[in-house]
């Protein structure tokens, strides 16, 4: 699966490429509008990440271009502008998701996976990890075929872990994934702990292994193949 | 007191003193003048009488009247009055009052006999003089008063008009809604000077303000990218494995601080954008629904804090504002009520057409409630609170002419937002 990262900030672009490559994607990078439009016209991409503020042009035009030529491509807008209007325009003309800078790479990864999953590129209806199986369409999870009763937050958390398998996830990124903008005001880091404890317990009660490891000083890691 | 009233009062005071003294001086001088004149006439009469006697060697016929009386009588007295000038009053039946007379008495000799002459001349009644002086002065003073009033009125209307116009414009001047000051040109030098100075000053202030604003905006925007880069590199670093626990701890601390900085920056950008009034698309927001929505979103966190929420929403309330900002407003109010609460505390939400009120239990503040709406003011000592939430609330309120109000009643913090206050119009 090929992913194109259109971001004029070279260092940020590199980070994204590195992270996604580790996930097993083939990545191309474009640093300005011209390069981006050439690459978009050249190859069909599974997913394209577009920064809106580009040298020599507007990222929204790339989105329009993609919608015309390869409508099956998933599009995620990444922008420094947290402008509601941009977000709305972006989603209206066909972007699948919108992410405001600065973001966690793990969050970006989860969004990319979600977009690809929704477009059903690999034909799977579920995500598997060990004895676990998650069905994003119905928002359900099973362990060895037995249904898990999860709260919405626990389900979100599980999917986030599955999207970032074998990756270290910081409490901060988990909190932001679960609570979004509200994270700053609340004792969310303690809540993260509570949620993870509950999720762990439920998986183990259903006969699964303890997939969630605590990485000292950093956060958590979901270790399963 | 208006400056015109003030100067007029001073003018009047001075005029009054001048008129008083002028009146007294006039009266005194007139009095002296009249005496002089009458005395001159008396002495002329005396000279005439003496000359007549010398020439004809007989006594002249004397006349008697009201204005002038000459009386002659033979005196046997050994020491006759040689010459004496005195005042006297004689009753006038016509005027029915005593009339002041000037009397010259002198003695002359004729054929060895002494004759005493008394010449009397009426002088002007000084009461009358006094009256007419006061009358004349009074009239003049009154006319001056009318003149002054007329002059003041016209000055006020035409000359000061521009000044009041300028004053009014400065009163309504606001940096954030800057249009250059349109001051009416004045023909009065001082006012023209004032206008020029004001114009230059506001232009300078405005350009300083713009520079500062631009700087803040640029800083917050330019900081985004490096922050995103640092954040991403840290994350990559974390994935590298083989980290010792010390390194991992250091990394986490760095990551936390960068995240905090990123969130702070995000809020600051939002604050700036609200100040710049970039959120122009307004619609009627159903406040009751928005409240329910946001409470639902925070429900989990509310439960984890062990808080109880009581809502009193009688009827649907529509508020005309930007949807995004309405969400920021409501969620910040709710978060504030959660954050500054106590374990097993209570949040009471009331909404009506006039206002939205959130009450929550919590410790009393040690500072005035009005400080609460400033930036980086945090009631509690919690390090993860940015203290920017209520600044956002206050900023949004000012954009939509709403009024936030804080009070502490019966052990509860009460934060009310009064909707659409009618803006002050002159």
Q: Is A21 a residue whose pLDDT tops 90?
A: yes
Q: Are residues A7 and A114 in the same domain?
A: yes
Of B233, B269, B386, the CB nearest to A15: B233
- Entry pTM: 0.66
Q: Which residues of B touch A83 (CB under 8 A)?
A: 273, 278
Domain-terminating residue out of A96, A118, A140: A118
Extract the tokens encoding B341: 């609460």
Regarding whether A198 and A159 lie in a shared domain, the answer is yes
What are the φ/ψ torsions at residue A2 (nearest 5 degrees)?
-100, 135
Q: How near does any CA of chain A get to the CA of B239, in Å?
A: 6
Identify whether residues A112 and A135 lie together within a single domain.
Answer: no
**How does B94-127 read in b/e, with b if 16+ C-beta sit within 10 Å?**
eeeeebbbbbbbbbbeeeeeebbbbbbbbbbeee
- Residue pair A163/A179 in contact by the 8 Å Cβ criterion: no
Task: Please name the residue of chain A whose CA is at the shortest distance from the CA of residue B378.
Answer: A185
CATH number for A63: 3.40.50.2300
What count of CB pairs under 8 Å joins A to B?
Answer: 118
Chain B residues whose CB is inside 8 A of the A85 CB are: 281
Structural domain span for residue A95 = 2-118
State the DSSP code for B93.
Answer: T
Burial of B174 (0-12, 13-18, 19+ CB in 10 A): exposed
Q: Residue A111 — pLDDT band, cuts 50, 70, 90?
A: very high
Q: What is the pLDDT of residues A30-53, one digit of tens each?
A: 999 999 999 998 888 999 999 888
Mean pLDDT, residues B333-342:
86
Average pLDDT over residues B163-183: 79
pLDDT at B252 over 80: yes
Looking at per-residue pLDDT, the higher value among B383 and B185 belongs to B185
Domain boundary among A72, A93, A118: A118
Same domain for A132 and A191, yes or no, is: yes
Residue A102: cis peptide before it, omega within 30 degrees of 0: yes
**Dist. CA B345–CA B359, nearest whole Å:** 11
On whether any CB of chain B is under 8 Å from the CB of A92, the answer is no
The dihedral over CA atoms of A97, A99, A103, A107, expressed in degrees to the nearest 10, equals: -10
Question: For B348, phi and psi rounded to 5 degrees?
Answer: -115, 125
What secondary structure letter does DSSP report for B242?
A: -
Does residue B384 carry a pLDDT above 70? no
Of A172, A127, A128, A180, the residue nearest A153 (C-alpha): A180
Interface test with A, best of B239, B281, B391 (most A CBs within 10 A): B239
CATH number of B283-418: 3.30.565.10
| pLDDT (0 to 100) of residue B46 | 87
When CB atoms are compared, the residue of B229, B338, B384 closest to A15 is B229
Q: What is the CATH number of domain B168-278?
A: 1.10.287
Is residue A199 very low, low, confident or very high in pLDDT (cuts 50, 70, 90)? Answer: very high
Residues A113 and A185 in one domain: no
CB contact under 8 Å between A12 and B225, yes or no, is yes
Same domain, yes or no: A134 and A43 = no
d(CA B262, CA B231) in angstroms, rounded, equals 9
Q: How near does any CA of chain A get to the CA of B202, in Å?
A: 32
**CA of B183 to nearest chain A CA: how many angstroms apart?**
38
Give the model confidence (pLDDT) of B392-418 as tens digits. Answer: 888 888 888 888 888 888 888 899 999
| Residue A97 shares a structural domain with residue A170 | no
Contact yes or no for B88/B118 (Cβ under 8 A)? no
How far is the C-alpha of B265 from the C-alpha of B14, rounded, in Å? 67
Task: Report DSSP letters for A2-52, one per residue.
Answer: EEEEE-S-HHHHHHHHHHHHHTT-EEEEE-SHHHHHHHHHHS--SEEEEES
Q: How high is the pLDDT of residue B425?
A: 38
Q: Is A12 on the interface with B (CB under 8 A)?
A: yes
Number of domains in chain A: 2
Rounded CA-CA distance B205/B332 in Å is 33
Q: Which of B221, B231, B279 to mutate to test the interface with A (most CBs of A within 10 A)?
A: B231
Determine the residue of chain A that is closest to B295 in CA distance: A182
Mark whether A76 and A171 lie in a shared domain: no
Residues A141 and A210 placed together within one structural domain of the fold = yes
* Percent of the residues in chain B that have a pLDDT greater than 70, as a whole number: 91
Are A199 and A132 contained in the same domain? yes
Are A11 and A72 within one domain?
Answer: yes
From chain B, pick out residues whose CB is under 8 angstroms from the CB of A19.
Answer: 232, 235-236, 239
Residue the block writes with tokens 């010259």: B104
Same domain for A112 and A17: yes
Where exactly are the structural domains of chain B? Answer: 3-147, 168-278, 283-418
Nearest chain B residue to A154 by CA distance is: B300
With residue B18 as reference, give the H or E element that holds it: helix B3-56
> What ipTM is given for this predicted complex?
0.84
B229 to A11: CB separation less than 8 angstroms, yes or no: yes
Q: Do A182 and B297 touch (CB under 8 A)?
A: yes
* Residues in chain A closer than 8 A to B248 (CB atoms): 215-218
Residue A7 pLDDT level (bands cut at 50, 70, 90): very high
- Please calculate the CA angle B261-B303-B318 and round it to the nearest 5 degrees: 80
Quick one: tokens of B281?
């698309």
């Amino acid at each position: 699966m090929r992913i194109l990262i259109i971001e004029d900030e070279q260092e940020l672009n590199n980070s994204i490429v590195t992270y996604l490559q580790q996930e097993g994607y083939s990545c191309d990078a474009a640093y300005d509008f011209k390069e981006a439009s050439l690459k978009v016209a050249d190859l069909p991409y599974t997913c394209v990440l577009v920064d809106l503020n580009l040298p020599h042009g507007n990222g929204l035009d790339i989105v329009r271009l993609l919608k015309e030529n390869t409508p099956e491509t998933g599009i995620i807008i990444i922008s420094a502008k947290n402008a509601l209007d941009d977000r709305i325009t972006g989603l209206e003309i066909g972007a699948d998701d919108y992410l405001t800078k600065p973001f966690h790479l793990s969050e970006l990864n989860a969004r990319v996976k979600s977009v690809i999953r929704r477009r059903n590129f690999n034909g799977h209806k579920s995500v598997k990890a060990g004895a676990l199986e998650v069905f994003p369409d119905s928002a359900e999870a099973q362990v060895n075929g037995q249904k898990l009763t999860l709260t919405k937050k626990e389900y979100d958390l599980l999917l986030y872990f599955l999207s970032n398998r074998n990756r270290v996830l910081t409490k901060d990124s988990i909190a932001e994934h679960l609570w979004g903008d509200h994270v700053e005001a609340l004792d969310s880091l303690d809540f993260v702990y509570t949620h993870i404890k509950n999720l762990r317990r439920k998986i183990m009660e259903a006969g699964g292994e303890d997939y969630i490891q605590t990485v000292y000083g950093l956060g958590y890691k979901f270790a399963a193949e | 007191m208006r400056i015109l009233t003030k100067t007029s009062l001073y003018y009047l005071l001075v005029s009054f003193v001048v008129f008083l003294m002028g009146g007294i001086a006039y009266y005194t001088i007139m009095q002296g003048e009249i005496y002089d004149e009458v005395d001159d006439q008396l002495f002329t009469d005396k000279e005439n009488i003496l000359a007549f006697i010398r020439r004809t060697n007989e006594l002249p016929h004397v006349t008697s009247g009201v204005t002038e009386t000459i009386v002659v009588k033979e005196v046997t007295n050994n020491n006759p009055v040689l010459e004496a000038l005195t005042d006297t009053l004689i009753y006038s039946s016509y005027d029915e009052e005593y009339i002041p007379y000037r009397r010259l008495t002198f003695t002359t000799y004729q054929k060895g006999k002494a004759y005493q002459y008394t010449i009397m001349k009426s002088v002007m009644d000084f009461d009358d003089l006094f009256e007419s002086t006061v009358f004349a002065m009074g009239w003049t003073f009154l006319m001056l008063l009318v003149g002054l009033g007329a002059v003041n009125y016209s000055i006020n209307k035409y000359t000061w008009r521009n000044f009041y116009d300028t004053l009014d414009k400065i009163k309504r001047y606001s940096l954030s809604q800057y249009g250059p000051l349109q001051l009416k040109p004045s023909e009065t030098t001082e006012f023209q000077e004032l206008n020029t100075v004001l114009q230059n000053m506001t232009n300078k202030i405005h350009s300083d303000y713009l520079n500062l604003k631009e700087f803040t905006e640029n800083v917050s925007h330019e900081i985004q990218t490096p922050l995103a880069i640092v954040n991403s590199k840290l994350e990559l670093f974390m994935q590298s494995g083989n980290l010792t626990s010390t390194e991992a701890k250091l990394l986490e601390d760095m990551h936390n601080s960068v995240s905090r900085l990123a969130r702070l920056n995000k809020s600051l950008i939002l604050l700036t954008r609200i100040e710049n009034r970039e959120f122009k698309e307004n619609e009627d927001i159903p406040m009751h629904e928005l409240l329910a929505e946001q409470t639902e979103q925070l429900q989990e966190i509310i439960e984890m804090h062990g808080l109880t929420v009581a809502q009193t929403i009688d009827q649907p309330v529509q508020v005309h504002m930007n949807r995004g900002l309405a969400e920021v407003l409501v969620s910040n109010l709710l978060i504030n009520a959660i954050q500054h609460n106590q374990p097993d505390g209570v949040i009471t939400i009331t909404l009506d057409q006039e206002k939205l009120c959130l009450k929550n239990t919590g410790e009393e503040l040690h500072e005035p409630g009005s400080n609460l709406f400033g930036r980086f003011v945090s009631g509690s000592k919690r390090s993860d609170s940015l203290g920017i939430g209520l600044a956002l609330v206050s900023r949004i309120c000012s954009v939509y002419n709403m009024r936030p109000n804080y009070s502490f009643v019966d052990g509860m913090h009460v934060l009310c937002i009064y909707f659409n206050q009618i803006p002050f119009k002159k």
